[in-house]
């Protein structure tokens, strides 16, 4: 039987799963990570939420160690330092990274008693449902100390709302742990070719004197320096570093024989009412002041402009703004890769997570006009979605009308031409993404404009995909009169969608005049 060690220091003990260039996964300590990050590819933890939470922890360590990067020159200095200052900082605060420290165990509140504990399986598997988790409290399910360390980081960084035990000394009142801001949001990481590049590409400009990325009140310290304990309260992070390590939960591990089968958890701190995390969050895009979500049913590229463009009522992630500054100093490659993760939840019910990526020429980041044209191209695809709806005048409505089917909506859902449509555009969109920057003309006014050839070609591609998808979806219908009516309506609708704005306006005016004439009679 293994004995529980008296210490498990994350600075020295392997616990972070990383992938090497030869696609092997191994665990490293914090110090080894910063010593070898140039030779490592990425972090690949138990699941995407844990991976995201570990990245955020490492960014907090780098920001605290360097108190930056203050500007592009300081960013270069951090790049050249190659992790040495981060290692020195970790050694300075060595005891605060000990998972089993008697007074201030890492990310834990040491006063939580065993009677606040829950079986570890419910938290580690992220589900109490027997459909997804076949463990129970008598099964003896336990996890290793490295796994427990990753679980703590995940619970503090990416966790859904839930009812928890009352905190010590409480017996009534609120005990609901809130969603962390990473829930129901598309969290963006800029990927590099090595783990070092990935971390530094996401090392946001940090200049408290200029209130970038946020206002700092008092001293901006990470929670492991100030402590993870105390009665839960509504409070505002003192700054960006404080926000990255914010104690959203009160936690305590109960190891036995070198394993952990129970963990105490209560609600932790939360933001005051009406205070939005947007002022600190740098890896999330916002639309109308709400975070852009990563849909489980929607292709990532359909929100591509949200990550590339700041425009009216939408703001790309602030790390992308900083990326544009780094590119202006030739510190970034010509192609940028976004790793985008999200955990979707309906209140306390996890719906699923996503972990997707896409690459785009960096010019989309530095040229708002180009990104705006891309947004227009995506809008063209979205507008053609109506081909597959069931409203009066749509192709499926015409089909149902002849068939006397009754409910056009259920017919459209059963035939599902829309899925075929998006699958086809999934293949075509990357071609547009890389061709559009090359389709440019600079006018006499010195302004470069895009899309003279590619946008019309894209419209044709979208129309072809819609026509083919709809036609295939009704191939099983043996009533040829119904099919003919649906296909005629399809062509009318496609003609309407490909009309220019001027043609649409003229058509609208003509219809209004005709209606007025009819009323006059």
pLDDT along the chain (521 residues), means of 10: 85 98 96 98 96 98 97 98 98 98 97 94 57 50 96 96 92 92 97 97 97 95 97 97 98 95 96 96 97 91 96 96 95 95 90 92 97 98 97 96 90 96 97 97 93 97 98 96 97 94 72 72 62
Give the residues across from 189 on adjacent strands: 339
pLDDT at 320: 98
Cα angle for residues 19, 22, 25 (degrees, 5° grid):
30
How far lies 469's CA from each of 58, 60, 278, 388, 412, in Å? 46, 48, 40, 9, 12
Report the distance separating Cα 270 and Cα 380, nearest Å.
41
The pTM of this model reads 0.92
Tokens representing 5? Answer: 């060690």
Closest listed residue to residue 389, CA positions, set 463, 465, 466, 458: 466
Q: Could you give the 3-state DSSP secondary structure of residue 54?
A: helix
Strand order in the sheet with 286-287: 290-291, 286-287, 314-315
Report the distance separating Cα 206 and Cα 187, nearest Å.
19
Cα maximum dimension of the chain:
96
481, 399 contact by CB (below 8 A): no
pLDDT at 221: 98
Tokens representing 314? Answer: 């939408």
pLDDT at 133: 45
Tell me, what DSSP letter sits at residue 157? H
What domains can be seen in the chain, in order of their start residue? Answer: 16-279 (no CATH), 367-520 (1.10.132)
* Phi (first) and psi of residue 59, to 5 degrees: -65, -40
Q: How many residues does the chain have?
A: 521
* Phi (first) and psi of residue 407, to 5 degrees: -100, 105
pLDDT at 132: 41
Report the distance separating Cα 157 and Cα 153, nearest Å.
6
487, 480 contact by CB (below 8 A): no
Report the distance separating Cα 133 and Cα 150, nearest Å.
19
439, 476 contact by CB (below 8 A): no
pLDDT at 131: 38
Closest listed residue to residue 64, CA positions, set 216, 258, 274: 216
Q: Write the burial class of residue 514 (CB in 10 Å: 0-12 exposed, 13-18 middle, 19+ buried).
A: exposed
């Amino acid at each position: 039987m293994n004995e529980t060690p008296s210490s498990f220091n994350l600075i020295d003990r392997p616990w972070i799963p990383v992938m090497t260039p030869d696609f092997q996964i191994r665990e490293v300590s914090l110090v080894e990570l910063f010593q070898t990050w140039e030779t490592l590819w990425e972090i690949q933890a138990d699941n995407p939420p844990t991976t995201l939470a570990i990245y955020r922890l490492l960014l907090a360590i780098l920001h605290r160690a360097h108190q930056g990067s203050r500007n592009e020159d300081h960013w270069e200095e951090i790049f050249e330092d190659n992790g040495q200052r981060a290692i020195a900082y970790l050694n300075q605060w060595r005891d605060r990274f000990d998972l089993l420290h008697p007074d201030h165990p890492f990310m834990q509140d040491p006063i939580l008693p065993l009677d606040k504990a829950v079986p570890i399986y419910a938290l580690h598997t992220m589900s109490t449902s027997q459909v997804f988790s076949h463990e129970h409290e008598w099964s003896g399910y336990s996890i290793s100390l490295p796994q427990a360390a990753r679980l703590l980081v995940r619970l503090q960084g990416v966790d859904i709302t839930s009812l928890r035990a009352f905190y010590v000394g409480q017996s009534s009142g609120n005990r609901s742990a809130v969603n962390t801001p990473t829930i129901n949001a598309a969290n963006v990481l800029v990927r590099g070719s090595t783990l070092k590049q990935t971390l530094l590409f996401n090392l946001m400009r940090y200049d408290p004197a200029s209130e970038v990325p946020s206002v700092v009140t008092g001293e901006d310290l990470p929670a492991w320096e100030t402590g993870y304990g105390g009665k839960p309260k509504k409070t505002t992070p003192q700054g960006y570093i404080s926000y990255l390590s914010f104690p959203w939960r009160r936690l305590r591990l109960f190891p036995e024989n070198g394993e952990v089968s129970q963990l105490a958890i209560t609600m932790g701190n939360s933001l005051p009412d009406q205070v939005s995390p947007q002022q600190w969050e740098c890896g999330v895009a916002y639309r109308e002041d709400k975070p852009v979500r990563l849909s489980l049913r929607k292709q990532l590229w359909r929100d591509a402009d949200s990550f590339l463009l700041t425009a009216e009522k939408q703001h790309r992630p602030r790390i992308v703004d900083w990326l544009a500054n780094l590119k202006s100093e030739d510190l970034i490659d010509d192609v940028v890769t976004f790793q985008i993760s999200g955990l979707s939840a309906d209140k306390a019910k996890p719906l699923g997570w996503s972990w997707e990526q896409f690459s785009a020429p960096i010019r989309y980041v530095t040229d708002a006009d180009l990104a705006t044209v891309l947004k227009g191209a995506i809008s063209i695809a979205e507008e053609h979605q109506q081909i597959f709806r069931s409203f009066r005048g749509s192709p499926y409505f015409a089909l149902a009308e002849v068939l006397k089917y009754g409910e056009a909506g259920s017919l459209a859902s059963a035939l599902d031409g829309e899925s075929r449509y998006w699958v086809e555009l999934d293949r075509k969109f990357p071609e547009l993404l890389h061709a559009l920057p090359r389709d440019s003309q600079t006018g006499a006014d010195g302004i470069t404009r895009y899309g003279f050839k590619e946008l019309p070609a894209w419209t044709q591609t979208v129309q072809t995909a819609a026509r083919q998808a709809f036609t295939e979806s009704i191939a099983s219908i043996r009533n040829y009169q119904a099919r003919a009516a649906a296909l005629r309506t399809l062509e009318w609708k496609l003609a309407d969608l490909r009309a220019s704005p001027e043609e649409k306006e003229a058509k609208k005016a003509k219809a209004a005049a005709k209606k007025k004439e009819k009323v006059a009679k």
